[in-house]
Amino acid sequence: MDRNLALELVRVTETAALASAGYMGRGDKEAADQAAVDGMRRAFSSFSIKGTVVIGEGELDEAPMLYIGEEVGCCKDGDMEVDIAVDPLEGTTLIAKGLPNAIAVLAMAPKGCLLHAPDTYMKKIAVGPKAKGVVDINASVKDNLEAVAKALNKNIEDLTVTVQDRPRHDQLIKDIRDAGARIKLFSDGDVATAIATGFDETGIDIMMGIGGAPEGVIAAVALKCLGGDMQGILYPMSPEEDARCRAMGLSEEDVKKVLYLDDLVSSEDCFFAATGITQGDLLSGVVYTGNNRASTHSVVMRGQTGTIRFVEADHRLDKNDTLVEVM
C-alpha cells in the first residue's frame, strides 16, 4: 500500500475526533457517537482507496453508516482494494463524561487480511515490542507477569498492568495483585490501553482482560505495526453472542482457539491511525484554542516499515469543508 495513505488516514480520524469532541461531558453517548460516525464517513469520501468496512458500527439493518460491508473511499481505477476496521468513537461513555482516553480510530489492511471478528467479547493480552513472544494467553497470570518482567528487565513489583474495571475481572485483578504487580484500572477504551503498552512513556506494560472482539482486531493492527504482541480468544458471554459466532461459521471449538497476532491481522502491509478526543495516556485530546481553531494529536503507524508518526495539527474549524458540513 502507498505510504502516502498514512496522512490520508489521519485526516479521517482527525475529522471524526473533531466532529465528536464538542459533545464532551454532555452525557449523550449516542449523539457523540453519531457525530464521530458522520465525520469519519464524510472524510472517507475523498480518500482514494477501494475500501470495504469489515469491522464497523454493526450490520446494515442496525447501522446506517460505516456498517459491515459498506464500501468507502472514492475509488479510481488502479486504487488498491483494502479492508477497513473502524471505531469512530472508541469510548462513548468516556466522552459523555469527559473521562480520559476516548479516541477516533481506524485500521486498514489488504483485502482479506483482517479477522472478521463477530460482535462478541474477546479475552486479550497485549504487550509492547520488548515483551514480544514471551506471553501465552493460556498460561497463568503469574507466569505471564514473570515472563514480561524478565523481558523488560524489571521486578514484577515494577510492572503496571492495565485492566478494565469490571466484575468479570475480579479474579484476574486478584491474581495480578497476588503476583505483586501494580494495576491501572480503566473504565472504558481498551484499544487505547492496548496501544499504550507499546510506548515506554505511558508506564503501561501489559493490557489484560475481556473486552470487545472488534476492538481486539483494531488494537492488533497497532501492535503489529509497533512490533508488539497480542493474543486473543473469542469470549461470547450470552446465547446471542454464541449465535453470532455460529452465524459466522465458527464452531464451539473454533471459538476456543487462540488467535495469535498473525490470525488477527495477517499482513505486515497494514496501517493504523488514532486521534485523541479526550486527553489520554498516549494522545492529547481535542483542544479548542479560540478564534475558530482546535488542535488535535494523532498517531499513525505503517506496518511495512514500522514507522510511527505523531501528528499535531491545528485546524480552522470554519475553513475545512468536511468539518463545516458535519458540525
Which positions touch Mg ion (CB under 5 A)?
Answer: 87, 90
The window from 74-82, 136-144, 209-217, 265-273 that contacts ligand VTB (CB under 6 A) reads 209-217
Q: Which residues contact 215 (CB under 8 A, 6 or more apart)?
A: 87, 90, 122, 190, 191
CA dist 217 and 269 (Å) reads 15
With the C-alpha atoms ordered 216, 80, 62, 247, is the resulting torsion angle positive or negative? negative
Contact in structure between 113 and 98 (CB atoms under 8 Å): no
Q: Assign 215 to helix, strand or coil.
A: helix
**CB 75, min distance to ligand VTB, A:** 29
Q: What is the footprint of ligand VTB within residues 156-175 (CB under 6 A)?
A: 166
- Does the footprint of ligand VTB cover residue 39 (CB under 6 A)? no
The residue at minimum Cβ distance from Mg ion is: 90
Q: What are φ and ψ of residue 39, in 5° steps?
A: -65, -45
- Does the footprint of ligand VTB cover residue 188 (CB under 6 A)? yes
Exposure class string for 16-31: b at 16+ Cβ within 10 A, else e: bbbbbbbbbeeeebeb
- Does the footprint of ligand VTB cover residue 90 (CB under 6 A)? yes
Q: How many residues bind ligand VTB (CB under 6 A)?
A: 10
**CB 143, min distance to Mg ion, A:** 30
**CB 166, min distance to ligand VTB, A:** 5
The window from 176-184, 208-216, 252-260, 315-323 that contacts ligand VTB (CB under 6 A) reads 208-216
CA dist 19 and 28 (Å) reads 14
- Does the footprint of ligand VTB cover residue 303 (CB under 6 A)? no
Q: How far is CA 279 from CA 23, 114, 194, 276, 311, in A?
A: 14, 29, 16, 7, 15
**CB 122, min distance to ligand VTB, A:** 8
Cell of 101: 482516553
- Does the footprint of ligand VTB cover residue 241 (CB under 6 A)? no
**CB 198, min distance to Mg ion, A:** 19
The window from 211-219, 274-282, 286-294, 312-320 that contacts ligand VTB (CB under 6 A) reads 211-219
Where on the chain is the footprint of ligand VTB (CB under 6 A)? 90-91, 166, 188-191, 211-212, 215
